[in-house]
Chain A
Amino acid sequence: QVQLQESGPGLVKPSQTLSLTCTVSGGSISSGDYYWSWIRQHPGKGLEWIGYIYYSGNTYYNPSLKSRVTISVDMSENRFSLNLTSVTAADTAVYYCASLVVITGNFEYWGQGTLVTVSS
């Protein structure tokens, strides 16, 4: 069974870049079965799809975040990463990585989530 684990700083200063990594175990990130995704949840709020990457390197982003988001993949380490630039307090959220099934379009496996707080 695929397992995902987020890692990265829990505190980021305003205007800086938020960087998170998701390590995949129990499966290969190059399998082609999944889009490797990032989703966030503001405190007490709903889920927001950020974007995803295919093992080929093709990326797809939420239009509302597209100008600030970069998702990359490191197949040698079986992990993928999120960079979100110019953060503000509005980017404070729990960030989840998840595997989006290519054929059926559902988020099958999820990481436990990591809280990132933007504050000086």
Chain B
Amino acid sequence: QSALTQPASVSGSPGQSITISCTGTSSDVGSYNLVSWYQQHPGKAPKVMIYEGSKRPSGVSNRFSGSKSGNTASLTISGLQAEDEADYYCCSYAGDITYVFGTGTKVTVL
């Protein structure tokens, strides 16, 4: 069970859009629509931003959106704001009642 692959860092200017990829395999991301995304600020617990690939929990800004194509899931943040600077992790069901997280991406707002 290997971690899902994410870019180590992504950056953008305020107001821009950025996309974070999350690449797995046909055994996890590619087989199930159970990808979730988490935002983690320094010293804080993660917070779910997207679940079931593209659904937003109540209270999460509609600037956050998720999608999936094949074995790769993506998180897009539009209208980037300073408060979006954080680490982001994807997570996928991986079969056999197991879950796997991504390697994490540090988002920097320039």
Contact = CB atoms under 8 A, between A and B. Distances in A.
A46 B103 contact: yes
Contacts of A100: 99
Nearest to B87: A46
Given A64-B1, A107-B38, A110-B46, A49 B100 contact: yes
B51 A62 contact: no
Nearest to A113: B45
Contacts, number: 62
A62 B46 CA distance: 19
Interface string B88-104: 01010100011111111
B91 A107 contact: yes
A64 B98 CA distance: 11
A120 interface: no
Instruction: Identify which of B32, B48, B100 gathers the most chain A CB atoms within 10 Å of its CB.
Output: B48
Interface string A94-109: 0010001100111110
A60 B97 contact: yes
Given A46-B89, A104-B52, A105-B34, A60 B98 contact: yes
Interface in B54-70: 55, 57
A62 B36 CA distance: 18
A47 B89 contact: yes
Nearest to B37: A106
Interface of A: 39, 45-49, 60, 62-64, 96, 100-101, 104-108, 110-113
Interface of B: 1, 3, 32, 34, 36, 38, 45-48, 51-52, 55, 57, 89, 91, 93, 97-104
The 7 closest A-B pairs by CB, nearest first: A106-B51, A105-B34, A106-B36, A110-B45, A60-B97, A46-B104, A47-B101
